Amino acid sequence: MDRMVRSYRPVLTHVTTCMDDFIVRALVAGVAVALVAGPFGCFVVWRKMAYFGDTMAHSALLGVTLSLLLELHPGIGVFLVAAAVAVALVGLQQRAVLPGDTVLGILSHSTLALGLIAIGAMAGARIDLMSYLFGDVLTVNAEDIRMIVIFAPIALITLLLVWRPLLAGTVNRELAQAEAQRPDIAEIIYLILLAGIIAVAIKIVGILLITALLVIPAATARRFAATPEMMAVLASAFGVLSVVAGLVISLTIDTAAGPAIVVAALLAFLLSVAWPR
Amino acid sequence: MPQTDSTATTTDILVEVRNISVRRGETTLLDNVSLSVRRGEIVTIVGPNGSGKSTTVKSILGIVKPQQGSITVAPRTRVGYVPQKLEINWSMPLTVQRFMRLTQRHSKSQILAALKITGVEHLLEREMTALSGGEFQRVLIARAMASNPDLLVLDEPVQGVDYNAEVDIYQLIADLRDSHRCGVLLVSHDLHIVMAQTDTVVCLNGHVCCSGSPQAVTNNAEFINLFGAGGAAALAIYRHQHDHSHGPDGEIIPAGADACDHLHG
């Protein structure tokens, strides 16, 4: 209990000093997450793992429950559970008892259902379920910001380090293996960082909309990119654009920020499709 | 006689596979398989689906670890690999030039030189997904040649390629062997074309049924049993035509087509 009080103190002092601080925090957190989501989302698209990402994100409620149990920051529990789910999924898919998408179909919705029950039993009415499902970017606090600002550069630099083996393994796993690229290690690192993105993105767009922030900017970028690297940079740019536009929409017409960000990303995608060659 | 391994000696051995066995769970994929590839030699692995052709190649490349036996690769042997069934997802923007740099940092002049070897330097800026089957395979071979390999490993390099391009690609592989003095290990399901340029055939069906020169293999009872007398006959016809023409020109095409007619008739 003592721990929670301490973590919220900076927020309280800020609220009293500056009314617009919450918008600035929302903007910083949203932009940082979008920057990271761009290149990671490209791999989601290239590796055809949108459904995989969904399954990881849906396990996040179980992570929130874990955090409540262990009295941790919600992000840490979400990260641990999403990373464990990702590693387990890779193992399950390699066994190939069932088709890959059937495995995901079973796990994606059952982890969500289990999470809803677990969190209801644990926290009851104390939890604002809607904010976990659809995000609540305007409640981003100083601790969230600290987490995102530390995580974002680590994720981007690490991705840069494993870029070559990860890309080679995405094009063809055997080719990468034969030429000593160790795609297996790169994939595990990628998935663990993806779990980190899910953990920091929950407040921005929520569990149900995270995959949109990964997939839509990357799909928008495809049209304008000549190389994988260019696509990754453009995806970040379209993601940042969507976050900024979404927050503006959200504040102007007083709507939830998460859905507004996703709608802004969708508009950018539709414009890219209509864009003349 | 078309046997060309006369210049090779044991010191030229690039890779030596000795009695390897690979099991996955209950099933045995490879049982006591041995083969070797020497510099300047074309070794073709043939066999029905699921006979362990790709597993053999993957063992040599270090992707699969055999439970038994040994694989010795000569020191400083550079291996170029052309994988089977490579599909580029449309969602990834990948030009030929970028694809050539996928696992190694080649300069643009190295890339152009490699593409020139396989006759596709004009495709440098083209997207991989826009290539025809034949162009795609030539780019794959160029990518493998860019690192100037001692051993070129190709796993079914004519998949998704139409008949004329297929003949050309086999001729290209034979030419590469001559011009670069590399060893070639080829996996094929396609007997009657490959064998004409092959020095050694390894017929695989979990174990090595038989191996040796193309003629020796086609007369082998187990080979005829595995592929049927029709397959063996088509091969014989092709060889006969090839002995007469001796040129890598258009004459091959009617000869092959003739062989096909015999197969179906």
Q: Give the phi and the psi of residue B212 in degrees, each rounded to 5.
A: 150, -160
User: Does residue A66 carry a pLDDT above 60?
Assistant: yes
Sheet arrangement for strand B151-155: B79-82, B151-155, B183-188, B42-46, B200-205, B207-212
- Tokens describing residue A115: 């999470």
* DSSP, residue by residue, A46-76: HTT-HHHHHHHHHTHHHHHHHHHHHT--HHH
pLDDT tens digits along A33-56: 999 999 999 999 999 999 999 999
The pLDDT value recorded for residue A36 is 97
Nearest-Cα distance to chain B for A21, in Å, is 39
Residue A104 — very low, low, confident or very high, per pLDDT cuts 50/70/90?
A: confident
C-alpha to C-alpha distance for B41 and B184, rounded to whole angstroms: 6
The pLDDT value recorded for residue B167 is 82
Contact B171/B136 with Cβ under 8 angstroms? Answer: no
The pLDDT value recorded for residue B9 is 53
Burial of residue A227 (CB within 10 Å: 0-12, 13-18, 19+) is middle
Per-residue burial over B130-158, b if 16 or more Cβ lie within 10 Å, else e, is: ebeebbbbbbbbbbbbbbebbbbbbbbbb
CB-CB under 8 Å, A172 with B86: yes
Segment B36-51 mean pLDDT: 90
- Tokens describing residue B157: 């390099």
pLDDT tens digits along B146-194: 989 999 999 988 887 888 888 888 889 999 999 999 999 999 877 666 6
Segment A155-175 mean pLDDT: 95
Q: Which residues neighbour A91 within 8 Å (Cβ) at sequence distance 6 or greater? A: none
Sheet arrangement for strand B27-38: B27-38, B13-24, B68-73
Half-sphere exposure of B216 (CA within 13 A, CB side): 14
The pLDDT value recorded for residue A57 is 92
DSSP letter at A136 equals -
Residue A6 — very low, low, confident or very high, per pLDDT cuts 50/70/90?
A: very low
The pLDDT value recorded for residue A190 is 96
> How far, CA to CA in Å, does A138 sit from each of A16, A144, B112?
16, 11, 53
CB contacts, 8 Å: B71 with chain A: none
DSSP letter at B130 equals G
- Please give the distance of CA B260 from its chain centroid, rounded to a whole number: 21
The pLDDT value recorded for residue A129 is 83
Could you give all domains of chain A from N- to C-terminal order, each with its CATH number?
A: 17-208 (1.10.3470.10)
- The closest CB to that of B102, out of A168, A219, A225, belongs to A168
CB-CB under 8 Å, B102 with A171: yes
Segment A226-233 mean pLDDT: 96
Token pair 């179909």 is found at A105
Residue B19 — very low, low, confident or very high, per pLDDT cuts 50/70/90?
A: very high
Token pair 């025809």 is found at B132
Q: Strand B200-205 and strand B42-46: pairing? A: parallel
User: Does residue A98 carry a pLDDT above 80?
Assistant: no
The pLDDT value recorded for residue A40 is 97
Residue A1 — very low, low, confident or very high, per pLDDT cuts 50/70/90?
A: very low
Q: Strand B27-38 and strand B13-24: pairing? A: antiparallel
Which residue does chain A place closest to B78, by CA atoms?
A179
- Tokens describing residue B211: 């191996």
- Tokens describing residue A210: 């995270």
Q: Over pLDDT 90: what percentage of chain B?
A: 47
Contact B138/B119 with Cβ under 8 angstroms? Answer: yes
pLDDT tens digits along B216-261: 877 777 777 776 665 555 454 344 333 333 333 333 334 433 333 3
- Tokens describing residue B1: 């006689």
**What are the boundaries of each domain within chain B?**
11-78+149-264
C-alpha to C-alpha distance for A258 and A252, rounded to whole angstroms: 14
Segment B111-124 mean pLDDT: 94
pLDDT tens digits along B65-75: 999 999 999 98
The pLDDT value recorded for residue A241 is 97
pLDDT tens digits along A78-96: 999 999 999 888 888 777 6
Calculated CA dihedral for residues A133, A136, A141, A143, nearest 10 degrees: 30
CB contacts, 8 Å: A174 with chain B: 58, 61, 63, 83-84
Residue B11 — very low, low, confident or very high, per pLDDT cuts 50/70/90?
A: low
Contact B58/B110 with Cβ under 8 angstroms? Answer: no
- Tokens describing residue B97: 């030039």
The pLDDT value recorded for residue B93 is 95
Residue A16 — very low, low, confident or very high, per pLDDT cuts 50/70/90?
A: very low
CB-CB under 8 Å, B89 with A46: yes
* Interface of chain A toward chain B, CB-CB under 8 angstroms: 45-46, 48, 164, 167-168, 170-172, 174-179, 181, 219, 222, 225-228, 230-231
The pLDDT value recorded for residue B24 is 86
- pTM recorded for the entire structure: 0.83
The pLDDT value recorded for residue A105 is 87
CB contacts, 8 Å: A179 with chain B: 81, 103-104
- The closest CB to that of B81, out of A45, A167, A178, belongs to A178
What one-letter code names the amino acid at A259? P
Which residue does chain A place closest to B25, by CA atoms?
A95
User: Does residue B43 carry a pLDDT above 90?
Assistant: yes
C-alpha to C-alpha distance for A96 and A82, rounded to whole angstroms: 21
The pLDDT value recorded for residue A276 is 80
pLDDT tens digits along A251-266: 899 888 899 999 999 9
Half-sphere exposure of B108 (CA within 13 A, CB side): 2
The pLDDT value recorded for residue A73 is 86
The pLDDT value recorded for residue B133 is 87
H or E stretch including B203?
A: strand B200-205
User: Does residue B211 carry a pLDDT above 90?
Assistant: no
User: Does residue B195 carry a pLDDT above 80?
Assistant: no
Segment B2-29 mean pLDDT: 75
Share the mean pLDDT of chain B. Answer: 80
| Superfamily name and number for B11-78+149-264 | P-loop containing nucleotide triphosphate hydrolases (3.40.50.300)
Token pair 């740099």 is found at B101
User: Does residue A10 carry a pLDDT above 70?
Assistant: no
The pLDDT value recorded for residue B229 is 60
Closest C-alpha among A119, A230, A174 to residue B92:
A230
The pLDDT value recorded for residue A270 is 96
